[in-house]
Amino acid sequence: MAFIPSRAKKHRTFHQEELNLTSMMDAMTIILLFLLKTYSTTGAIISPSSDLKLPYSLSTEAPHKELTVSVTRENILVSDERVMSVNDVDSRSTVLGALFSELTRRAREAKQNEIQYAIPFTGQIIIVADENVPFQLLFKVIYTCGSSEYNKLRLLTIREK
């Protein structure tokens, strides 16, 4: 048996429902404010890694983007490119050969850029080291940077509140 088509439905008029966006706007505004508060203009200086945990410091000096030398628990990197392994460090010499040649190469390039494109070469470098790096290795890295034209050294830390 077929049903009789509903009479009520036949005469129903559709009227457009307005989507209520007010609550969504509230949420968005809060998110927007939060993100504005954490806004940074310097951009990412370090790429996070599991074997690189920065130490905490009370220093409030803001970092700038410069060439970085990262010393993780296993590797030494120059601007995120692996240069040598920590295990390869020669315990007798104070200069790390591979790091030294990489830094001098970069310094030469930077000086070339200074001549060609007038990008000033400041000799600034940021050392990004894991908090458990022993002093001996850290000193060798600092010494190597200092002997290869990059002599304005900065240590990167996490700001403590």
Partner 1 sequence: MAFKPSQRSHNKVKEIPLDIRPVLNLMVVLIPILLYSAEFVKLSIRELNLPPAGSSDKGDQDKALAEQEKRFQLTVIISKSGFYIGNQAGYLTGEANTAADPAIPILEDGSYDYNKLRDQLIEIKDKIKDQGFLDQKSIIISAEADIEYKHIIKLMDYISIYEDADGNQQELFPQINIGTVI
Which residues of the chain form contacts with partner 1 (CB under 8 A)? Answer: 18, 21-22, 24-25, 28-29, 31-32, 35-36, 38-46, 54-63, 126, 129-136, 138-139, 142, 145-149, 151-159, 161
Query: Are the C-beta atoms of 96 and 104 separated by less than 8 Å?
Result: no
CA–CA dist 90, 137 (Å, integer): 10
Nearer to partner 1, 76 or 133 (CB): 133
Query: How far apart are the two ends of the chain, measured CA to CA in Å?
Result: 77
Nearer to partner 1, 6 or 41 (CB): 41
**Could you tell me the smallest distance in angstroms from the CB atom of residue 81 to partner 1?**
21
**Could you tell me the smallest distance in angstroms from the CB atom of residue 115 to partner 1?**
20
CA–CA dist 59, 154 (Å, integer): 12
Nearer to partner 1, 111 or 149 (CB): 149
**Could you tell me the smallest distance in angstroms from the CB atom of residue 93 to partner 1?**
13
Q: Count CB atoms within 10 A of the CB of residue 152.
A: 12
**Could you tell me the smallest distance in angstroms from the CB atom of residue 85 to partner 1?**
18
Nearer to partner 1, 91 or 116 (CB): 91
**Could you tell me the smallest distance in angstroms from the CB atom of residue 120 to partner 1?**
16
CA–CA dist 80, 78 (Å, integer): 5
CA 114 and chain centroid, separation = 25
Closest C-alpha to 124, from 59, 49, 69, 82:
69
Nearer to partner 1, 84 or 155 (CB): 155
